[in-house]
Amino acid sequence: MSLLSAQGISKQYNGLSALSDVSFEVPPGQVRALIGPNGAGKTTLVGVLSGRIPPSSGSVRFAGQDVTTWPAHKRISQGMGYTFQITSIFADLSVRENVGLAARRHQKSAAVVDALVEEALLKTDLWGRVDDVAGTLSYGHQRLLEIAMGLAQKPKLLILDEPTQGLADGDVESFKRLIESLRGDVTILLIEHNMDVVMQLADFITVLEAGRVLFEGIPTDVKANALVRAAYLGGGDAET
Amino acid sequence: MTTDLKKSVILHAGVVLALFVLQFVLPAYHHGNMARIMVLASYAIGYNLLFGYTGLLSLGHALFFAAGLYGAGLAMSQFGLSAGPALVVGVVAGVVIGAVVGGLALRTEGVAFMIVTLMFAQAGYLTILYFGAYTRGDEGFVIEQAERVLLGADLSDPLMRYFAAFSLFCAAIFTCFLAVKSRFGRVLVAIRENEERASMLGYDVAKYKLGAVVLSAGLSALAGAGYALLFGYVGASFASVQYSIFPLLWVLLGGAGTVLGPLVGTVFMFYLIDLSSGLTTAYMLIAGVALVVLTVFAPHGVMGEVRRRMWRWLP
């Protein structure tokens, strides 16, 4: 059974259709990438899945429950971790407290919270900066802190919205290693521009174009598909 | 973390101890002042929980202070309750009104929240005037000395009054300290820092904000009820907009989002006006200049600057 499933999602903004009849399923344990050219509706779809944007029609199921009408915080408390496309951290609080807030939502015991914080920060290579004020971290480290906050929630599904955006090459490499190390433990929905990252990490890829699902398949099939090539990979949008 | 916790426990226990000892050394005039300051600082502590820690600026807290003041006062004057139960009635009145006003006002945010809370407080003020037959309106009413007895202690006696004010202040600062160190308080700070992020970590932000309003209103009402019992006067001026602005000023001066800030700000403001009015009739000019200077050179308030420059661990 799917961990996350979207059925017939449509979204109109003032008559303008951002998504039309999008359906897709993410089975547990998969690393799923969601790609598409700018304006394809990726951000809107993620907003609908996470509960930040109400859909015009269609339904979302998560972990066996219909969550279509649930507010975002309720979905998250049921195991849907979310990291922001534009870094959103508690800039004036310490790195420890940033991750601590993420862990404390589902854990009462201080010792368990400390352990979760340490584990998440070790995984993201931020343990050495645990007592720094989050706002003083470099951009790349703030992106990693976002992911650490996602990990500390021990989510069933981790939604990563453009995690490598603006990262230096070296940081992208460590990001790839990080996702590899999570493979199998947590289901990941990766919204990503960087095709190199997508092809290397994703088990399965959903391609959106103009608010519709254009194609779904494993990375080699996506690469080989003529429609995808025409719409996206062959176009000027692709970054390698 | 644990050494930081130790340091802050020692500091706050030290301040509380100093306040306790002060009653034996202060001359009568300042003795009376300090009792009043401790009650008003308790009010400011309640305000600070919402403004300083949660980041919600209310301009209507006089409503909650007055709920405690009138809740206790009317319970005694109209229903003949003794001091103890009256105090409870005052706090309950504040909590209930806090829940209702919070439930409605929290549908708005930012400037709209300020205006809505201000309007509710004005409605409360006008309600007190409207029911002048019971509240005696602007003139207010006095609670007889004979009735101001709590657990066998005569609260009109200066020594007892100081001790009662001290106990009230201890209850307020202890509640604030615990709240700030708790999971609840840390979520409030997270909401202040980045509300959207807090929500996207799975916290029900609306519930936490309502909790903050109710706790803040409850503490403000406790201070109001204490004021009625200790000083024996209940009047509509305490429900006026001035008493909504005061706690904001005290907290800003002392340091928003610090446990000790409300006390420091209340002492500072009280004696600023007290001393400058002894020098000149234009004392508000002196007070105004002092406030401007402090705002320019210590925008985070006294304790806020202390935290920024010396003691980063200050809660």
Secondary structure of chain A in HEC code, one letter for each residue: CCCEEEEEEEEEECCEEEEEEEEEEECCCCEEEEECCCCCCHHHHHHHHHCCCCCCEEEEEECCEECCCCCHHHHHHCCEEEECCCCCCCCCCEHHHHHHHHHHCCCCCHHHHHHHHHHHHHHCCCHHHCCCEHHHCCHHHHHHHHHHHHHHCCCCEEEEECCCCCCCHHHHHHHHHHHHHHCCCCEEEEECCEHHHHHHHCCEEEEEECCEEEEEECHHHHHHCHHHHHHHHCCCCCEC
Q: Which chain A residues have a beta carbon less than 8 Å from that of B190? A: 90, 93, 101
Question: Chain B: nearest CA to A236, how far in angstroms?
Answer: 34
Put simply, the answer to whether B194 touches A90 (Cβ < 8 Å) is yes
Mean pLDDT value across residues B10-20 = 87
Residues A65-118: pLDDT tens digits? 999 999 999 999 999 999 888 888 999 999 999 999 999 988 888 899 999 999
At residue B1, the pLDDT reads 52
Q: Is residue B125 part of a domain?
A: yes
Q: Is residue B289 part of a domain?
A: no
Average pLDDT, rounded, for chain A: 88
Residue A133 in contact with partner chain B when CB distance is under 8 A? no
Which residues between 55 and 114 in chain A have a beta carbon less than 8 angstroms from any beta carbon of chain B?
Answer: 72-74, 76-77, 82, 84, 88-93, 97, 100-102, 104-106, 108
Q: Is residue B287 part of a domain?
A: no
Q: Which of B189, B197, B199 sits opposite A89 (nearest CB)?
A: B197
The total domain count for chain B is 1
Mean pLDDT value across residues A17-37 = 90
For the whole model, what pTM was predicted?
0.88
Q: Is residue B290 part of a domain?
A: no
Given a cut of 90, whether residue B54 has pLDDT beyond it is yes
Q: Is residue B40 part of a domain?
A: yes
Q: Is residue B298 part of a domain?
A: no
Q: Is residue B259 part of a domain?
A: no
Query: Which range of residues forms the domain containing residue B115?
Result: 3-240
Model ipTM value: 0.85
Q: Which chain B residues have a beta carbon less than 8 Å from that of A84? A: 197, 200
Question: Chain A: nearest CA to B187, how far in angstroms?
Answer: 7
- Nearest Cα residue in chain B from A72: B200
Q: Which of A73, A89, A90 sits opposite B199 (nearest CB)?
A: A73
At residue B28, the pLDDT reads 80
Q: Is residue B56 part of a domain?
A: yes
Interface test with A, best of B182, B188, B193, B201 (most A CBs within 10 A): B201
